[in-house]
Amino acid sequence: MRKLKIYLFLLLTIVTSQSYAEAPTKILVMGDSLSAGYGIDINDGWVSLLEEQLTQESNVQIINASVSGETSSGGKNRLPALLTQHQPDIVILELGGNDALRGQPLKLLEQNLQFMIDASKKANAKVLLAGMQIPPNYGARYSNQFKALFPALAEKNKTGLIPFLLEGIGGNTELMQRDGIHPTAEAQPIIVENVKKELVKIL
């Protein structure tokens, strides 16, 4: 009987250890149309391509909660429920572009991003903040302050930072759709590299 108990205990320990070992690293992407695959097949979008690459290298699951047209206010409202539902290990925050395009106050964007960073950390998730830029025709002062907001938040909160999500793409008409805002399918692998370079540092 004692041997049977020991055997059952060892068996349970092995099964439990395997369960923990097999639990994937969950990455929640909170973004707008740049992450939702606007104008292209969602399977060609950078989030899908990144998951395809990472799953070949490690046990990773990506939950893409991005919505076209999303603002930081919308992300702030949706994030708490998503954190509870998915319990991610990492949250990628790719929001702010639509705030800027609508000329919303940068203070509001900063407050919303700070709320999402705090909520993610409280849920024991690491944060990777995606830096964004807008053309100077929105006003040099506004554009410069917008660009500076992301590294400042990352430094303040000690989070990961993608300096500029569209590095190597922005300004290149061959890699942008006709609207001049959204990258083409051909540009998505470049975004993957921009994200992956910083993501691996916190995985």
Residue among 145, 160, 138 nearest 94 (CA): 160
Ordered structural domains, the chain, with CATH: 24-199 (3.40.50.1110)
- Active-site option among 66, 72, 89, 182: 182
Per the annotation, the verdict on 179 as an active-site residue is yes
- Active-site option among 33, 35, 66, 72: 33
Per the annotation, the verdict on 86 as an active-site residue is no
Q: Could you read off the pLDDT of 67-97 as tens digits, one per residue?
A: 999 999 999 999 999 999 999 999 999 999 9
Per the annotation, the verdict on 73 as an active-site residue is no
- Angle at Cα 29 formed by Cα 96 and Cα 23, nearest 5°? 160
Whole-number mean pLDDT of the chain?
91
Q: Return phi, psi of residue 180, to 5°.
A: 70, 10
Sign of the four-CA dihedral 7, 9, 10, 12? positive
Q: Could you read off the pLDDT of 11-62 as tens digits, one per residue?
A: 444 444 444 458 999 999 999 999 999 999 999 999 999 999 999 989 999 9
- Angle at Cα 195 formed by Cα 189 and Cα 200, nearest 5°? 120
Residue among 185, 116, 123 nearest 154 (CA): 116
